[in-house]
Structure 1
Amino acid sequence: MTDLLTPLIVVVGVLGLLIGSFLNVVVYRLPLRESIVSPGSRCPKCGHPVRWWDNLPVVSWLLLRGRCRDCQASISLRYPAVELLTGALFAATAWWAFSTDAVDGVAVLPFLVAVLYLAAISVALGLIDLDTHTLPNRIVGPAYIVAGALLATTSLMSGDIGALVRAAIGAAILFLAYLVMALARPGGMGLGDVKLAGVLGLYLGWLGWGSLAVGGFAAFLLGGLYSIALLALRKANRKSGIPFGPWMLGGAWVGIFAGQPVWDAYLSWVGLAG
């Protein structure tokens, strides 16, 4: 597997670029309640359909110098940036999935699909929340079924049923914690955040209590730092609301990639390590 790891990561990274191109469509159309399947991509200014060779991730944008072939309208840098972000996240996720000791053997395959699925919806949800301050049910709702099925398959194939129990408990803990915060301070935490918390709790709980603790805490740390930066730059005040979904997702990825080592280090520091 070691000899195949590098080319596998490259393949997954290229897949991420392609998925990123599709996510650009999702991020733009879903909040408008438009179909993400048809019609095909068109220039928003001249309406001309985008040719397939002009729709290659990153490469086409560079060759076109960021402009529509037909009307020369500017194409936002955000499009290749989303593709590159998704490709990099996919590659990093694949490397981590095959390097971690959380899963081994053939069970790593459904586990890899599970975390790549989370990577894809993380990009989509994070950008949509930044744009519209919403976390669409059309993404969050199915995530419970898809993530639950993939993680359950991983548990059954690896014989680790305890991880599946932790996943259910983790989902319940984060869901209820965010629900309490939403009810305690109406308008401060949206129900979209509550629903997303349950999905993230599935993943973090499945990986372990340390991942759940660190991932849950990291969301508030990242969101707090962002809020402080906005206040310092005078781009917000104490009453300004910020989309919290991106920081929940960012915190979850901190918990996924580094949660257990960070938790173990913390326990060792406070003298509670076994």
Structure 2
Amino acid sequence: MIYVFVFLMGLIFGSFLNVCIYRIPRGISIITPPSSCPTCDTPIKWYDNIPLLSYIILKGKCRNCKSKISLKYPIIEIFGGLIALGVFLKFGLSLNTIFWIIFGYCLLVLSFIDLELFIIPDIINILLLVFGILFVIFNGKITEGLIGGVFGFILFYSVAEIFSKILKQEALGFGDVKLLGVIGVWLGWVGVVYTIFFASFIGSIVGILLVALFGKTFKAKIPFGPFLALSAFSYIFFGKELMHVLYGI
């Protein structure tokens, strides 16, 4: 029953993450006003705002104007539940569990913002940095966090500058550079290396699949933030062990 409870709590937080994803990049308060239908602007009643359940009952439509509600909302709620449950299964009931859930939620928010608007808001990186500092202090890994943060930032900044000059256009957004620096605070320099290689691998696979589906004329811009986020989050489950097995580090 505790696993069910953790998952349900994750769904609730996932509903709040939907608010953050929509409002933060638009400069709207995440507290007020109450949620409303983006089409008819009708305030959403509490019974129509129950995570996942309300979407199913309303069949994905607004009760008032019958406009379609994006499938993105229940998907993010489910991700919220899965992140909470996965971290709890890995780390049990501890303060580190709370830290890693916050880590996962911030990465989830920035991923969907980046997918939609191709930006990573500074406020998300700042939140990750603040909680990352608290995390390394709590775990006595201040030196490791400092080295990882500096290593991640300088490495990705250098890569961005080199490829921008080669391609004669921006290769990586500065939000990605700052994100990898923050990830380094949480995961250390080994986590940075893992995150870069795993994100690049996943990104390459996605790019190949998109070209296969849409042909060589596919020129759409693909944000790198979600790949970094997925890779960084996967590291806390098996990345450290994988890097040790493959490279002995």
- Is the TM value for this pair above 0.5? yes
1:92 corresponds to 2:92: no
Q: Which residue of 1 aligns with 2:154?
A: 176
Q: Which residue of 2 aligns with 1:193?
A: 176
Answer whether contact 1:214 1:255 (CA < 8 A) is retained. Answer: yes
Structure 2: unaligned runs, 5 residues or longer = 165-169
Judged with a 3 Å threshold, the aligned counterparts in structure 2 of structure 1 residues 212 and 32 are, in CA distance, closer, same or farther, namely closer
Q: Distance in 2 between matches of 1:43 and 1:219?
A: 35
Q: Which residue of 2 aligns with 1:55?
A: 49
* CA RMSD between the two structures: 2.0
Per the TM alignment, residue 204 of structure 1 is displaced from its structure 2 partner at its CA by: 1.4
Answer whether contact 1:216 1:255 (CA < 8 A) is retained. Answer: no
1:262 corresponds to 2:245: no
Instruction: Tell which has more relative contact order, 1 or 2 (C-alpha 8 A, sep 6+).
Output: 2
Per the TM alignment, residue 18 of structure 1 is displaced from its structure 2 partner at its CA by: 0.9
Per the TM alignment, residue 216 of structure 1 is displaced from its structure 2 partner at its CA by: 3.0
Q: Distance in 1 between matches of 2:61 and 2:222?
A: 32
Answer whether contact 2:184 2:191 (CA < 8 A) is retained. Answer: no
Alignment match of 2:186 (pick from 197, 203, 212): 203
Q: Which amino acid aligns with 2:155?
A: A
Per the TM alignment, residue 214 of structure 1 is displaced from its structure 2 partner at its CA by: 2.3
Answer whether contact 1:212 1:259 (CA < 8 A) is retained. Answer: no
Alignment match of 2:123 (pick from 113, 138, 149): 138
Answer whether contact 1:188 1:241 (CA < 8 A) is retained. Answer: no
Judged with a 3 Å threshold, the aligned counterparts in structure 2 of structure 1 residues 63 and 238 are, in CA distance, closer, same or farther, namely closer
Query: In structure 2, the residue corresponding to 1:83 is in which secondary structure?
Result: helix
Query: In structure 1, the residue corresponding to 2:64 is in which secondary structure?
Result: coil
User: CA deviation digits over 1:11-53, x for unaligned, max 9?
Assistant: 3322211111011111112222212111101112222110011
Q: Distance in 1 between matches of 2:222 and 2:59?
A: 34
Answer whether contact 2:210 2:218 (CA < 8 A) is retained. Answer: no
Q: Distance in 2 between matches of 1:263 and 1:218?
A: 11
Q: Which residue of 2 aligns with 1:223?
A: 203
Q: Which residue of 1 aligns with 2:34?
A: 40
Q: Distance in 2 between matches of 1:237 and 1:247?
A: 23
Q: Which residue of 2 aligns with 1:253?
A: 233
Per the TM alignment, residue 184 of structure 1 is displaced from its structure 2 partner at its CA by: 1.6
Per the TM alignment, residue 213 of structure 1 is displaced from its structure 2 partner at its CA by: 3.2
User: CA deviation digits over 1:210-249, x for unaligned, max 9?
Assistant: 5443233211111111112222223675865320000001
Answer whether contact 1:214 1:259 (CA < 8 A) is retained. Answer: yes
Judged with a 3 Å threshold, the aligned counterparts in structure 2 of structure 1 residues 71 and 19 are, in CA distance, closer, same or farther, namely same
How many residues matched?
244
Per the TM alignment, residue 261 of structure 1 is displaced from its structure 2 partner at its CA by: 1.7
User: CA deviation digits over 1:53-93, x for unaligned, max 9?
Assistant: 11010011111111111222221111111101111111101
Tell which deviates more after alignment, 41-50 or 212-221. 212-221
Answer whether contact 1:129 1:245 (CA < 8 A) is retained. Answer: yes
Alignment match of 1:128 (pick from 113, 129, 138): 113
Q: Distance in 1 between matches of 2:162 and 2:24?
A: 30
Q: Could you state the TM-score of these two structures normalised by the residue count of structure 2?
A: 0.90
Q: Distance in 2 between matches of 1:210 and 1:181?
A: 17
Query: In structure 1, the residue corresponding to 2:214 is in which secondary structure?
Result: coil
Answer whether contact 2:194 2:243 (CA < 8 A) is retained. Answer: yes
Answer whether contact 2:14 2:81 (CA < 8 A) is retained. Answer: yes
Judged with a 3 Å threshold, the aligned counterparts in structure 2 of structure 1 residues 10 and 150 are, in CA distance, closer, same or farther, namely farther
Q: Distance in 2 between matches of 1:118 and 1:130?
A: 18
